[in-house]
Structure 1
Amino acid sequence: MTQAHPFKTLISAANLLPNAHNPNWVIVDCRHDLMDPGAGRAAYAAGHIAGARFANLDRDLSGAKQAADGSFKGRHPLPEKDALVATLRSWGISDDTQVVAYDAHGGMYAARLWWLLRWIGHDSVAVLDGGLAAWQAEGQTLTTAEPTPTPGNISAKAPLTSSVDAHDVLINLTSPRRTVIDARAPDRFRGENETIDPVGGHIPGAKNRFFKDNLQADGRFKSGHQLHEEFGALISEPQAAVMQCGSGVTACHNLLALEIAGLHGAALYPGSWSEWCSDPTRPMAKGA
């Protein structure tokens, strides 16, 4: 049965609960740890929402790190669309499936799957607001049983998102038309305490909006009104904004927040800082 009013940004644990066993809904566990790539799968094996599939950030939600010319595309480049579609089908996702993505990290990884599904034209996808903690707060237990999905038939359609590459960002430095927003923590933006990428700093002219600033103290997203006010202070035209981060993952959190705020049309720079700083000829900045 097709969902009459699909969830397109967030879904609460209370709204997921009556649909958790709906055959037309697919739940995906996106837990991950950038410093320990095996941690997400281990956490899933220890306990997950019943029926949830596991999405590996490096394998399922990212593509090859090296371009055909040998250049580095970043730590988490976009996957090939055909490969992504095949993965989604293996999870049982079809064109009319409501997808719910969750993690235990405020949505920082679940938002990546949300963006990727929109990238292939699927809008019935939402992030579980508050993540696994919100689910357990509803009194729900976890399971270690892994599902055996019936393959789905999802197909790629016209994208509901847009992206830019390093060349677009480089051109924007000399002919500024876009506002670049960096989702990393303020210290990494300033070029301090860099432990993931080989070079610290940020793209010249970028503004900093730490993705965790999209959340309330309880780990749920702020209201659309509050997010609209906060992002409105950074960007005047969402369609002329570019979201980036370290590797194109937490930038999707800012893109989700923009959608919640009703500010549509911002683009993702998938390579982000990890790709940008790999070429020493590209300009880099430090400090606030």
Structure 2
Amino acid sequence: MNKRPTDMQDDPRTLVSTDWLAAHLRDPDLRILDASWYLPNANRNASAEYENAHIPGARFFDIDDISDHRSDLPHMVPPVEKFMSRLRAMGVGDGHQVVVYDGAGLNSAARVWWLFRLMGQNNVAVLDGGLPKWQSEGHPVEDLPPVVRDRHMTVRVQNSLVRDVTQVSQASKLGDHSIIDARSAGRFRGEAPEPREGLRGGHIPGARNVPFDSLLNDNGTMKTPEECRAIFEAAGVDLGKPAITTCGSGVTAAILSLALERMGKADHSLYDGSWAEWGAFPTLPIATGDA
């Protein structure tokens, strides 16, 4: 079975179905965010697509803009003040239930879910199957800008949810964490080219490979927690250790984090710099092949 009953699947802290969102679409404290983001080689313009058609009332969350522009790395975690001011300007704050979706099905929305959790906001969920599933079922879309009213947001950063290169390097050496890489098998092995120039091929020594799309069904929905657990275990992930998720630039790693959270595994963190950072530094060790 690839889908559990709706009443078992919906969790406003992790993942909700299109049926759930349709039923709650007019709730006064619901805030919907379109967090679509694409690699340059996808030839898609996320903001233009949002302006053309989005779920009614949705605001556009620009992952590249709401980031730390002081860093040379792509879309790193923004300063707290920037996150708060951007979200306040979008009318998102304390007391809101947030639902995040993207135009790929289930991709970049998980990054924004993780970012909210990092900022201490727990009432946030990803829309299972995203905009493609929403539209395929005949639910409404619009091209109107939302009516925005400021709402204060209280941020309490949960530092345990993020890891930097020094922490990941130590975890790799000590082997006391399960490092899980969400990139494709070819990139993980160092056989396929990286989409960003100047990066070496391979992976962090000791990491295991769970390509993010292996956790998804054909319609872009996430597999059940039981199925995800089996996939992690088949990849050699020791779920008894704290987990660190990683990928190309910290976006699809959050899909692994979302799956782990749904499985009931709370001790997970995300390597924000991911391969965009690790692969760029010749002094950091790399491994190739399957392990």
Query: TM-score, length-normalised on structure 2?
Result: 0.89
Residue 58 in structure 1 maps to residue 58 in structure 2:
no
Q: Deviations over 1:89-109 (max 9, x none)?
A: 122112110000001223211
157-166 or 10-19, which moves further after superposition? 157-166
Residue 43 in structure 1 maps to residue 49 in structure 2:
yes
The 5-angstrom pairing of residues 172-187 of structure 1 reads 172-187=171-186
Question: SS of 2:258's equivalent?
Answer: helix
The 5-angstrom pairing of residues 264-283 of structure 1 reads 264-283=266-285
Question: SS of 1:205's equivalent?
Answer: coil
Residue 10 in structure 1 maps to residue 12 in structure 2:
no
Amino acid across the alignment from 1:64: H
CA RMSD of aligned residues (A): 1.9
1:209 corresponds to which residue?
210
Q: Deviations over 1:103-159 (max 9, x none)?
A: 122321100110011111111100000111221133123211111310111110252
Amino acid across the alignment from 2:139: Q
Query: Structure 2: which 5+ runs fail to align?
Result: 1-9
Contact 1:238 1:265 in 2 (8 A): no
Amino acid across the alignment from 1:119: L
C-alpha distance in structure 2 between counterparts of 1:137 and 1:251, whole Å: 27
The 5-angstrom pairing of residues 11-160 of structure 1 reads 11-35=16-40, 39-60=45-66, 62-64=67-69, 66=71, 72=72, 74-157=73-156, 159=158
Identity %: 36
Contact 2:65 2:75 in 1 (8 A): no
Quickly say closer, same or farther: Cα 1:83–1:38, change in 2 above 3 A: farther
Question: SS of 2:188's equivalent?
Answer: helix
C-alpha distance in structure 2 between counterparts of 1:238 and 1:177, whole Å: 10
C-alpha distance in structure 2 between counterparts of 1:222 and 1:100, whole Å: 19
C-alpha distance in structure 2 between counterparts of 1:237 and 1:136, whole Å: 36
C-alpha distance in structure 2 between counterparts of 1:205 and 1:180, whole Å: 7
Q: Please report how far the alpha carbon of residue 173 of structure 1 lies from its aligned counterpart in structure 2 after TM superposition.
A: 3.1
Residue 196 in structure 1 maps to residue 196 in structure 2:
yes
C-alpha distance in structure 1 between counterparts of 2:116 and 2:223, whole Å: 23
Contact 1:21 1:51 in 2 (8 A): no
Q: Please report how far the alpha carbon of residue 6 of structure 1 lies from its aligned counterpart in structure 2 after TM superposition.
A: 6.7
Residue 259 in structure 1 maps to residue 264 in structure 2:
no
User: For this pair of structures, how many residues does the alignment match?
Assistant: 277
Q: Deviations over 1:7-32 (max 9, x none)?
A: 01111111111221222000000112
131-140 or 201-210, which moves further after superposition? 131-140
C-alpha distance in structure 1 between counterparts of 2:97 and 2:210, whole Å: 30
Amino acid across the alignment from 1:255: S
Quickly say closer, same or farther: Cα 1:127–1:143, change in 2 above 3 A: same
Amino acid across the alignment from 1:247: S
Question: SS of 1:153's equivalent?
Answer: coil
Quickly say closer, same or farther: Cα 1:100–1:281, change in 2 above 3 A: same
Quickly say closer, same or farther: Cα 1:267–1:239, change in 2 above 3 A: farther
Query: Structure 1: which 5+ runs fail to align?
Result: 67-71
Question: SS of 1:170's equivalent?
Answer: helix
Query: TM-score, length-normalised on structure 1?
Result: 0.90
Quickly say closer, same or farther: Cα 1:171–1:159, change in 2 above 3 A: closer
Question: SS of 2:46's equivalent?
Answer: helix
Q: Deviations over 1:34-54 (max 9, x none)?
A: 116871001101111111000
C-alpha distance in structure 2 between counterparts of 1:273 and 1:197, whole Å: 12
Quickly say closer, same or farther: Cα 1:161–1:7, change in 2 above 3 A: farther
Q: Please report how far the alpha carbon of residue 287 of structure 1 lies from its aligned counterpart in structure 2 after TM superposition.
A: 2.2
Quickly say closer, same or farther: Cα 1:247–1:25, change in 2 above 3 A: same
